[in-house]
Structure 1
Amino acid sequence: MAHLRPLEDSEIDDPFIVERFAHYAETRGFTPNSIRTMARRPEIVKAFMALNQAILYEGTVSEQLKMLISLASSFAAGCLYCQSHMTNLSHIYDAPDEKITQILEFETSEYFSDAEKAALNLAFRAAQTPNQAEQGDFDRLGKYFSESEIVEIVASIGLFGFLNRWNDTMATSLEPLPAERAERILSDHDWSAGKHVAG
């Protein structure tokens, strides 16, 4: 059960946040409880949403790959809330279920290209504590991505360093849609919501 209750729409009066929450509801089918909790400090949630937009939805690395990188980072960090959300977003951005299901076996899976494998390798290594990223991981990445694209990839991992810590610390309540999608797609991994079950 969450340590802080997510705010209801009626408790939010900042017009920008109201508009962005409506956007989330329209594009995802719900507004994440992570930012509903964060909205107690409007400047923090606005800065976070701007950073999230710049990292995941701008640049030249595909949005699908960024979602998979974020999913890999969340697996490495152990955040069940973010695993469910990034399973959902990977699905929204057209990652086949097989790709999502085999994220932990990416190195041997036929569903991932060599470029995707290089990016996921860094995600899994960099999201661990302590960080396992080494020069060889960047040498491998550099075969497929420009320096600007490597910044996008590392930014995606870094963004989820924040989100994994935020949601695991807050025990953020998981919404029904991402929970159902994760339970279905990640069933081979015995995935469960753990402490993020809505109470």
Structure 2
Amino acid sequence: MRHFQVPDREDLPDDVRERIDEETDRAGFTPNVFRAMAYRPSHFRAFFEYHDALVEDTELERAEIEMIIVAVSGDNHCLYCVVAHGALLRIHAEAPRLAEQVATNHRTADINEAHEAMLDFAVKLTEHPAAVDESDLERLEEYGFSRRAVWDIGSVAAFFNLSNRLAQLADIRPNEEFYDLGRDADE
């Protein structure tokens, strides 16, 4: 994080430090977004609580969530989120080339029509939120998404528009580890 000082670990509240330690143990490294968001502990708590709700209480598959994040982040030119969530997309979709395809142009990516419609919606919500209307929701329903799933798609897109802007504000850089994750078919 180049524009704001990353707090020292020992200066963090216990619960924030514990959450960072849990993620470090799980991932094998500390994703930079955790250290950056700790700049404001109350914001850290709210950010990660909502993130967790989006990925745990959803009708979407984890690979679908990551597709949305990568498409929105690519549209927003957010390097951190494209790289970090691109790694997660490669892992959850078991597709080592998919992240770059989705980040660059989801309409030419190796995805099915339902996922293309899902990403069309997420990008429209990103670029032209006032233009989203009932017909957009109905189109997703035609592809088998329930209204709850449509809500989930919109929520993920909206949250990562926020996340992208925070990452850009703070100039959070991707961890080197993210670049190689999910590239090997055995991972």
Instruction: Report the 3-state secondary structure (helix = DSSP H, G, I; strand = E; otherwise coil) of the residue aligned with 1:30.
Output: coil
The aligned residue for residue 45 of structure 2 is 46
Partners of 1:29 and 1:134 in 2: how far apart? 43
> Are the structure 2 counterparts of residues 88 and 7 from structure 1 closer, same or farther at C-alpha, using a change threshold of 3 Å?
farther
* Cα deviation digits, residues 76-100 of structure 1 (max 9, x gap): 1111111111112212323402322
Letter in structure 2 aligned against 1:19 = E
TM-score, length basis structure 2: 0.84
The aligned residue for residue 150 of structure 1 is 150
Alignment of 1:54-65 (within 5 A): 54-65=53-64
Partners of 2:22 and 2:93 in 1: how far apart? 20
Q: Is the 8 A contact 2:2 2:170 kept in 1?
A: yes
Partners of 1:116 and 1:8 in 2: how far apart? 41
Q: Is the 8 A contact 1:6 1:34 kept in 2?
A: no
Alignment of 1:71-150 (within 5 A): 71-103=70-102, 104-109=104-109, 111-128=110-127, 133-143=132-142, 144-150=144-150
Q: Is the 8 A contact 1:76 1:125 kept in 2?
A: no
* Cα deviation digits, residues 23-64 of structure 1 (max 9, x gap): 211232322322322213222111111100001232221011
The aligned residue for residue 16 of structure 2 is 17
Partners of 2:145 and 2:8 in 1: how far apart? 42
The aligned residue for residue 189 of structure 1 is none
> Are the structure 2 counterparts of residues 107 and 50 from structure 1 closer, same or farther at C-alpha, using a change threshold of 3 Å?
same
TM-score, length basis structure 1: 0.80
CA RMSD of aligned residues (A): 2.4
Report whether the alignment pairs 1:31 with 2:33.
no
Partners of 2:4 and 2:111 in 1: how far apart? 39
The aligned residue for residue 160 of structure 2 is 160
> How many residues align structurally?
181
Q: Is the 8 A contact 1:71 1:86 kept in 2?
A: yes
In structure 2, stretches of 5+ residues that fail to align are none
Partners of 2:51 and 2:124 in 1: how far apart? 21
Instruction: Report the 3-state secondary structure (helix = DSSP H, G, I; strand = E; otherwise coil) of the residue aligned with 1:145.
Output: coil
Of the structure 1 ranges 49-58 and 132-141, higher mean CA displacement relative to structure 2 is found in 132-141
Q: CA deviation at 1:140?
A: 1.6
Partners of 1:23 and 1:131 in 2: how far apart? 39
Q: CA deviation at 1:107?
A: 2.9
Once the two structures are aligned, what percentage of the paired residues are identical?
Answer: 24
Q: Is the 8 A contact 1:75 1:83 kept in 2?
A: yes
Partners of 1:117 and 1:142 in 2: how far apart? 13
Q: CA deviation at 1:102?
A: 2.0
In structure 1, stretches of 5+ residues that fail to align are 186-199
Partners of 1:160 and 1:105 in 2: how far apart? 17
Instruction: Report the 3-state secondary structure (helix = DSSP H, G, I; strand = E; otherwise coil) of the residue aligned with 1:102.
Output: helix
Partners of 2:2 and 2:106 in 1: how far apart? 32
